[in-house]
Amino acid sequence: MTGALPSLGCSNTSVLKERGQREVFCGLTGIIWLHRKMQDAFFLVVGSRTCAHLLQSAAGVMIFAEPRFGTAILEEKDLAGLVDAQTELDREVSRLLSRRPDIRQLFLVGSCPSEVIKLDLHRAAERMSAAHAPHVRVLNYSGSGIETTFTQGEDACLAAMVPALAQTDARELLLVGALPDVVEDQALALLAAMGIKNVRCLPARRSADAPQVGENTVFALVQPFLGDTHAALLRRGARHIPAPFPFGAEGTTLWLQAIATEFGVPQAVFDAVTAAPRARAEKAIAAARQTLDAKSIFFFPDSQLEIPLARFLTRECGMTALEVGTPFLHRDLLAPELALLAEGPVISEGQDVDKQLARARTARADLTVCGLGLANPLEAEGMATKWAIELVFTPVHFYEQAGDLAALFARPLRRRALLAPLAPRMEAAE
Amino acid sequence: MKLTLWTYEGPPHVGAMRVATGMKGLHYVLHAPQGDTYADLLFTMIERRDHRPPVTYTTFQARDLGGDTATLFKTACQDAVTRFAPEALIVGASCTAELIQDDPAGLAESMDLGIPVIPLDLPSYQRKEGFGTDETFLQIVRHLAKPTPRTAHITANLIGPTALGFRHRDDIVEITRLLADMGIAVNVCAPMGARPSDIARMGAAHFNVLMYPEHAESAARWLEANFKQPYTKSVPIGVGATHDFLAEVAQITGLPVTADTSRLRLPWWTRSVDSTYLTGKRVFIFGDGTHVAAAARIARDEMGFEVAGLGCFNREMARPIRALAKDYGVEALITDDYLEVEAAIAALHPEMILGTQMERHIGKRLGIPCAVISAPVHVQDFPARYSPQMGWEGANVIFDTWVHPLVMGLEEHLLHMFRDDFEFHDEAGASHHGGQHIARPVAAEAAPAAAIDAGSMPAEIAPVVEEATSSNLIWLSDAENELRKIPFFVRGKARRNTEKFAQGKGLTSISVETLYEAKAHYAR
């Protein structure tokens, strides 16, 4: 399947760049999965009631489980200069930390309101780090809508951590990007079986296990949306191992192969380690492929996972991509993916949602990947949809999840077929 | 600054969206940064709407802040008018746009869009969602309603129902039916289902039915002052309140009360002997002011419960709720901090909670049954089936909804009789709570199973229910053992009553004797 290198694929395809109304989440949403991953971190958004409402809406029932995030809601007096916002923030943080002694890392997360009023959270973080050292380290980043889209919140968070990582001269592999624990364990086991030791993860599960970084560090990204983190690691002297992202049997193999090559793993060892899980993944994908084969797909921009997923769905599940929208296209990081993606689809960056909706209606793909604000309205127009946010919350990377990933796309199509006897009446009612 | 995790209400522009989404032919241009479109999914997912909310966001980004955000806003207005051809436009700013001070009102007015443009001033850092709905609807009515001759027949406007309202869809049907029984037709129902052109003819109605004061009281007052339309003050939730409502309508219109109560079943259901066990059940009530006031009356006067505490999260209703609480001999809890609500519930040990989605989770945590009576609610409280809260059918729905989470009379009796039976031990819980059957643990102490419901909560059990409420009282071990024999669902009350009794007697320790003396003292 990966034998002969294809032509340039979409490497030179010109990108449709659009600006206008964007139907996307802001970077604050990243907190929802980041706080599950980083077990002794607390994320304090400095923002408005809207920010708190967004987190509540996005977190669903998670909000009731004493999660490690919250919003310091700006009030009228904070804006009017009646009180010193920095003093207020110090007070809230001290209260928070005294109530939650288990917290070792605190992230002050900037929002649109805090950015617009130019509340200096960087200075606040430095001041608080000094005040609460050595027990708690305080960092800051922006998850605001004016600067970040959805998964870019994770990028901003990890990039903020990089300068604070300890220095090392050891030759270590760093895996970058928050993965569900079960997936991370699988990746580490595969690398260990190839004899690659000294593998660290960013973010680590606990702050005490934070990785170190230096000139001899090499790193691989497991997520495509980590452009700023990539740049921050390069600044620390680390070297990037370019690879397609580990989605599907092929993506996972190519990703592992790039690392194996870097560490001089003999091909026989690589094949021995990957053969069985790879065959398992291909078998699992085949089940969903029956539904997906020869179907067309249209991606609205959401998470930057769109291009790697389009590559997986077209090459391993037999789908045809009509448009692949992404909120942001990092050419460098996605070069291996674009080379694999067959020419044909419109690749769009950014969004003007009404224009894109018009294109989606014209294309009438068999499956449209979009956010929750668009999914039901498009279903009501008779189009099958797959809501995108699930792709970020569900374990989808590496071999063992390849079948699940394909099934996420197959399920709405299977459901549509199952309910087809009811459909004519529904359409008659429209 | 105030640290918040859960909020009962969204920001005021979400209230404006609720009005716009409830209406047709109206479009909302919201000056807002990227990301504020999250609110769309409240409507498309929780309320399961099959259309996008009629909202255009300007989606400004950091690089726009240099100066052309005003142009962005004007372009968005022009595009929205061209694309959606609305009859009227509402324009406003979200919390971030409020800070950059582009003046949406002035910008839109200067554009001459050829349709009415209604500017909204929603102070995001002071007010909340409820204010947003009320103020938006008031502005729409002020700008669009025209003096009109009254209809020949007696008609009424239904005002207050919005998108994302708790059971608004079915309440409209029920009220329409109540009025029809009296020979009164509905002139306009707004905001839900109305077009701007419908708002223009609101003046033709003889009076207004104010369904939800939270969302339309300002408009009701304005219509009373300007069009001389009286509005109803009773909200017809519950049997008594519905009778009051009809009497009020009769008084306004001069028509006799005609009520078809043939489908009303609540009064017989609560009198039937199986409901005897509901007598004196201690309930805690929390939600928006309107639903709390209605629920308190139903709880005490129609279900025979004891109202142990009540409160609301919307401070606009603080005054009437405080007065109501006085009536019931309890302290009103006016707060939007769910931790205060949780503390109040834990201290009161109610046998049941009537509240919002949040109280449902508090109830789960504390092992107390709960029924939902007010927004905010989640997707399951936008049901497919007909489930009003208002009118006769609303009363039937309320009876079923409230009683369902409780252990029913016969079942409670059986549990009591067989409490030492191996299958009916404390930790087994009620059969219909959806939890798995849990065999009696061999070790004496196990976590109460009722709270490990098959829900989303992690299995961390709040020890609140079992903790002694007063630190200076000592439970002797015999008394503690005897207390454990009392079924779990009344044990909290027994403990509290005994401690209150012991304190009254100036005791420092509680023996088995004290326990039974207290039981005799509180017998009813």
Mean pLDDT is lowest, of A60-74, B31-45, B116-130, B409-423, for: B409-423
pLDDT in the model for residue B453: 37
Omega into B376 within 30° of 0, i.e. cis? Answer: yes
Q: How far is CA A16 from CA A362, B48, B424, in A?
A: 17, 32, 67
User: Could A26 and B33 be called an inter-chain contact, meaning their C-beta atoms sit closer than 8 Å?
Assistant: yes
Residues B224-270 have pLDDT tens digits of 999 999 999 999 999 999 999 999 999 999 999 999 999 999 999 99
pLDDT at B407: 67
Q: Does the structure show a pLDDT above 60 at A265?
A: yes
Interchain CB contact of B254 with A (< 8 Å) = no
Q: Which chain B residues are Cβ-neighbours of A75 within 8 angstroms? A: 1-2, 125-126
End-to-end CA, chain B? 49
Q: What is the share, in percent, of chain B residues with pLDDT greater than 70?
A: 87
The amino acid that residue B167 corresponds to is R
Q: Is the pLDDT of residue B346 over 70?
A: yes
- Counting residues of chain B whose pLDDT is more than 90, the rounded percentage is 69
Cα gap B365→B62, rounded to integer Å: 42
Q: So what's the pLDDT on residue B117?
A: 96
Instruction: Tell me which residues of chain B, numbers 445 to 474, contact chain A at a CB-CB cutoff of 8 Å.
Output: 455-458
Contact predicate B299/B284, CB 8 Å = no
Residue B454 has pLDDT above 90, yes or no: no
CA separation for the pair B13, B19 (Å, rounded) = 10
Is residue A428 over pLDDT 80? no
B101 vs A375, higher pLDDT: A375
Query: What average pLDDT score do residues B471-482 get?
Result: 85
- Please choose, from the candidates A17, A59, A66, the residue with its C-alpha nearest in 3D space to the C-alpha of residue A393: A59
Mean pLDDT, residues B196-204: 98
Distances (CA, A) of B182 to B158, B256, B398: 15, 7, 24
Q: Is the pLDDT of residue B400 over 50?
A: yes
pLDDT of B220 higher than 50: yes
Confidence of residue B483 (pLDDT cuts 50, 70, 90): confident
A429: confidence class by pLDDT, cuts 50, 70, 90 = very low
Q: Tell me, what's the pLDDT at B524?
A: 54
Helix (H) or strand (E) holding B19: helix B12-22
Which two three-digit tokens encode residue B151?
Answer: 């209809």
Please report, rounded to a whole number, the percentage of residues in chain A having pLDDT higher than 90.
88
Position B519 scores a pLDDT of 83
Q: Do B44 and A95 touch (CB under 8 A)?
A: no
What pLDDT is stored for residue B64 in this prediction? 85
Average pLDDT of B115-144?
A: 97
Inspect the interface and report whether the beta carbons of A49 and B128 lie closer than 8 Å. yes
Chain pair A-B, CB pairs under 8 angstroms:
185
CA distance A238 to A234: 5
Note whether B60 contacts A: Cβ–Cβ < 8 A: yes
Q: Does A345 score more than 60 pLDDT? A: yes
**Most confidently predicted of A26-30, A73-77, B436-440:** A26-30
Q: Sort out which chain B residues have CB atoms less than 8 A from A28's CB and list them.
A: 35
Closest chain A residue by Cα to residue B56? A21
User: Å from B295 to nearest chain A CA?
Assistant: 25
The answer, yes or no, to whether residue A204 has pLDDT greater than 70, is yes
Burial A149-160 (b: 16+ CB within 10 A, else e): bbbbbbbbbbbb
The reply to whether residue A85 touches residue B76, judged by beta carbons under 8 angstroms, is: no
Q: What is the pLDDT of residue B470?
A: 53
Interchain contact, A22 vs B37, CB within 8 Å: yes
State the average pLDDT over residues B398-422.
73
Lowest mean pLDDT: which of A62-71, A410-419, B366-375, B389-398?
A62-71
Residues of B in contact with A23 (CB under 8 A): 37, 40
| pLDDT tens digits for range A366-407 | 999 999 999 999 999 999 999 999 999 899 999 999 999 999
- pLDDT at position B425: 53
Residue B448 has pLDDT above 80, yes or no: no
φ/ψ of residue B176, rounded to 5: -55, -40
- Percent helix, strand, coil in chain B, to 5, is 50, 15, 40
Q: How far apart are CA A185 and CA B286, in angstroms?
A: 45
Query: In the predicted model, what is the mean pLDDT of residues B269-296?
Result: 95
User: What is the Cα B130 distance to its own chain's centre?
Assistant: 12
In B, minimum Cα distance to A357 occurs at B52
Phi-psi region of B98 (alpha: psi -120 to 50; beta: other; left: phi over 0): alpha
Q: Select the more confidently predicted residue: A155 or A84.
A: A155
With cut-offs at 50, 70 and 90, classify the pLDDT of residue B274. Answer: confident
Of A140-144, B378-382, B436-440, give the lowest mean pLDDT range. B436-440
Rg (CA), chain A: 22
Tell me what pLDDT residue B286 has: 98
A107-117 pLDDT, tens digit per residue, is: 999 999 999 99
Mean pLDDT lowest among B213-227, B247-261, B447-461: B447-461
Tell which wins on pLDDT, B14 or B426: B14
| Length of chain A (residues) | 430
Chain-wide mean pLDDT for chain A? 93
Catalytic residues of B: 274
Is the pLDDT confidence value at B438 over 80?
no
On whether ipTM exceeds 0.90, the answer is: yes
Confidence (pLDDT) at A226 = 98
Rounded to whole angstroms, how far apart are CA atoms A132 and A134? 6
Q: Quick check: A307 and A344 in contact, CB under 8 A? A: no
B57 vs A contacts (CB less than 8 Å)? 21-22
Average pLDDT of B267-290?
Answer: 94
Does residue A349 register a pLDDT over 90? yes
Closest-CA residue of B relative to A61 is: B456
pLDDT at A363 over 70: yes
Query: What does the alpha-carbon distance between residue B343 and residue B356 come to, in Å, rounded to a whole number?
Result: 16
In the predicted structure, residue B490 carries a pLDDT above the cut 60: yes
Distance of CA B464 to the CA centre of its chain: 26
Q: Own/partner pairs for B447-455, CB < 8 Å, 24+ apart? A: B448/B367, B448/B488, B450/B367, B450/B488, B451/B364, B451/B365, B451/B366, B451/B367, B453/B364, B455/A61, B455/B364
Phi (first) and psi of residue A269, to 5 degrees: -65, -45
Predicted TM-score (pTM) of this structure? 0.89
Q: What is the pLDDT of residues B49-72, one digit of tens each?
A: 999 999 999 999 888 887 788 899
Name every chain A residue with its beta carbon within 8 A of the beta carbon of B51.
Answer: 377, 380
Mutation target vs B (from A103, A376, A389; most B CBs, 10 A cutoff): A376
Given strand B306-312, what is the order of strands in its sheet?
B332-334, B306-312, B282-287, B352-355, B370-372
Supply the pLDDT for residue B105: 87
pLDDT at position B462 over 50: no
Provide the 8-state DSSP code for B100: H
- B428 confidence band (pLDDT: 50, 70, 90): low
Weakest-pLDDT range from A73-77, B215-219, B442-446 = B442-446
Q: Cα(A410)–Cα(B68) distance, rounded to whole angstroms? A: 44
Q: What is the dihedral of CA B452, B454, B459, B462, to 10 degrees?
A: -40
| Nearest alpha-carbon partner for B39 in B14, B72, B3 | B14
- Mean pLDDT across chain B: 88
Looking only at the bridges linking them, the beta strands covering B2-4 and A69-73 are antiparallel
CA triple A334-A337-A342, angle to 5 deg: 135
Q: For B289-301, what is each residue's pLDDT tens digit?
A: 999 999 999 999 9
